[in-house]
Structure 1
Amino acid sequence: MNLALLGLGPDGWGKALFDGGVLTIAIAATSMAIGTIWGALLAWARARGPMPIGRLVAIYGVVLRGVPELLVILLLYFSAPALLAAFCAALNLPDPGSPPPFLTGSLAVGLVSGAYQAEIFRGGLNAIAPGQWEAAQAAGLGPWLGFRRILLPQILRNILPAMGNVWQFNLKDSALISVTGMAELMRTSLVAAGSTRQPLLFFSAAIILYLVLTSLSGLVFSWLERRGHRWSRR
């Protein structure tokens, strides 16, 4: 193996791999944010909303958790331009063209991630004793203030380990967005392997970089868990 190909020089692929890693983190962070917001809304709708909405949310979770993420990415990537054009035509707006692959891919992974996070949030909410909510109301706290000060810290502490797993899944699922042509880490490694005919070198480098990202992420979430448990012991 020619390790010089991993360098930062004009003939090396080091900078391209680094940029691919940065894009992988950006995709994972964006999809995680989308999934967290969407998952929290779904969990709240299922726990506090009317029964028909709760059933629709349950069906959504079953479908999105039951199909491959790659299928969701391809469906959204190829259908989004037509859907967006039809929506703009109905409002007499100009056709904006195809959405950016970054947005489409992050949204697709975020929608799938939201289906998993909805169950995580619902489990964290159900783990709180009903007396906690009653105590917040007895203390004179309104619904939002009681949720933010009493329930939310406990929910976050309960769901943090599971959310760390979802983040790891998002990091790895970002590789599926390579089918849209995005030059994230997986796509960059594939192009470099094909251009240099050194698949072992670049796929091994990709494995190491993914392991670095997931290991560092694990350390961050472990630190957050320790902080949460230290707060709970006070």
Structure 2
Amino acid sequence: MFLHGYLPSLLEGALVTLSVALASLALAMVLGMAGAMAKLSRFRAARGVAQVYTTVIRGVPDLVLMLLIFFGGQLAVNEIALALGHEDYVDVDPYLAGVLTIGFIFGAYLTEAFRGAFLAVPPGQREAGLAYGMSGWQIARRITLPQMFRHALPGLSNNWLVLIKSTAIVSVIGLHDLMTRGSQAAGTTREPFVFYAAVAVIYLAFTSASELVFKHLQKRFSVGVRQGLL
């Protein structure tokens, strides 16, 4: 039998992995946009907070942050619950901890990608929008954000490819993702090469499909833009 009947289990784990990756990307994009706006802000405090966030997060290994947030967060939640009179032990959901950690990590990387993308939009275009009587929201929606997103796509694509592979670290906190199910199958059958190769193929399928999606988005957002000759 193909993969000793473990294929359905691996596919279920793959769906969990993909779900974690997409939820983490959504959180990372929100944090990245907020961080980019803070770094471009005229307020020194906002720039300082954003700088500390990106420096610390990009300088600490992902696995260390995962363990700190999961176990440290669990300790903090129970201390707060005890202080509020709740005596039962509170377990932090591994899925939630994984999404928060990965989203928090890649929010720092997307902060820099979005900041550079904002700076790549010529300021004269915003000034032209003001001259035409556009509101700030209209300028952002029609001029700044579409161009910013086009400039941010390469960085967003690279970070997404790294993010989806980084989801493997959620296996250390007990989430039944693709990596965990592959490890369980490898241990049960004593065929680690077969099952880790299967896990690698599924990750490769995710990243290959993602590259096709980002190529389509790049073409869509580059309509009417002259591409430089290589």
The normalised TM-score by structure 1 is 0.91
**Cα pair 1:80 1:98 within 8 Å, conserved:** no
Alignment match, 2:53? 60
**Count of residues paired in the alignment:** 225
Structure 1 unaligned blocks of 5 or more? none
**Aligned structure 1 segments of 4 or more residues deviating by more than 6 angstroms:** none
Alignment match, 2:193? 200
Alignment match, 2:97? 104
| Alpha-carbon separation, structure 1, partners of 2:39 and 2:50 | 6
What is the correspondence of 1:82-231 to structure 2 with a 5 Å cutoff?
Answer: 82-88=75-81, 92=84, 94=86, 97-231=90-224
SS in 2 for 1:48: coil
Deviation at 1:109, TM superposition (A): 0.6
1:190 partner amino acid: S
Deviation at 1:144, TM superposition (A): 1.9
| Alpha-carbon separation, structure 1, partners of 2:8 and 2:62 | 29
1:151 partner amino acid: T
Provide Cα deviations, 1:199-225, integer angstroms capped at 9, x if missing partner. 111011111111111001111111111
Deviation at 1:171, TM superposition (A): 0.6
2:109 partner amino acid: Y
Name the CA shift for 1:137/1:86 in 2 (closer, same or farther; >3 Å): farther
Name the CA shift for 1:96/1:31 in 2 (closer, same or farther; >3 Å): farther
Alignment match, 1:19? 12
Provide Cα deviations, 1:100-130, integer angstroms capped at 9, x if missing partner. 1001011101111000000000000011111
| Alpha-carbon separation, structure 2, partners of 1:20 and 1:162 | 27
Structure 2 unaligned blocks of 5 or more? none
